[in-house]
Amino acid sequence: MNTPTAEAPKRKTRSLTFGLVDQLSTEIQNGTLNSGQKLPTEAAIMARFGVSRTVVREAISKLQAASLVETRHGIGTFVLAQTDTPSFRINPNQLGTLHDVIALLELRISIETEAAALAAVRRNEGNLRVMQDAMAAFLSAIEEGRDAIAADFQFHHEIARATQNNHFADMMNSLGSQAIPRARLETTSPEEPQRLGYLRRVHQEHENILNAITAQDAESARAAMRTHLSNSRDRHKKGISSHP
């Protein structure tokens, strides 16, 4: 069995990987990295983001899996063309208030509860591994007082991918990390005791979802996801009621 000391570097690498995936995905989606453009070299990405070669390679692998980039051996990695068909998109300026965030959570509840149920039926071992990696990265981030938003979003995105229905994954991909309410409204430090307690509850809710998906229990997965997102919605509703 691995000791906590041996596991810590692995958890940190996973968290850094998800953070880099999120940043590069955002640059692809907002056009900073254009379709057909060659990504900077591994060394350049390492220098810019302050990460290791392992993190860069794992991040590129995940971007490939999400059909955002492709690697041409001996040439480099290129941004894939995104569809020209008008697609659903929520802009950051549409998520500036508590009411906006609650509206998005209502949408996510309707979509992600069914995604969790489908994932429970259709997931494979690879899907389970990346969900477990995302959960480990989330826990590592909150225990070390780092931003856990990228790992949080990655967990939900991987559930969408586990449906084996690209429309669910595309929907989550179009939202990006802004789908996580903390990315838009919350500024308190993760080290604060109340904040840490909340994030640990989120981790437990994630664990409940993953356990149901692992057991291929569609109804329990649906219920666990609904509970998780409804708790977030209700928490933000309390924020409205406390600010007349």
**Of 20-29, 34-43, 80-89, 193-202, which gets the smallest average pLDDT?**
80-89
Cβ neighbours, 10 Å, residue 173? 21
Q: Which CATH code is given to the segment(s) 92-241?
A: 1.20.120.530
Q: What share of the chain is helix, strand, coil (3-state, %, to 5)?
A: 70, 5, 25
Distance (Å, rounded) from C-alpha 49 to C-alpha 53?
A: 11
Output 40-49 pairs: Cβ under 8 A, ≥24 positions apart: 41/76, 45/20, 49/20, 49/23
pLDDT tens track for 53-109: 999 998 898 888 777 888 887 788 999 876 544 456 666 666 668 888 899 999 999
Global pTM exceeds 0.85: no
Domain residue spans of the chain: 4-79, 92-241
Structure tokens at 16: 């850094």
Which class is 4-79 in CATH? mainly alpha
**E strands in the chain:** 69-72, 76-79
CA-nearest of 86, 95, 117, 110 to 179 is: 95
* N- to C-terminal Cα separation, the chain: 53
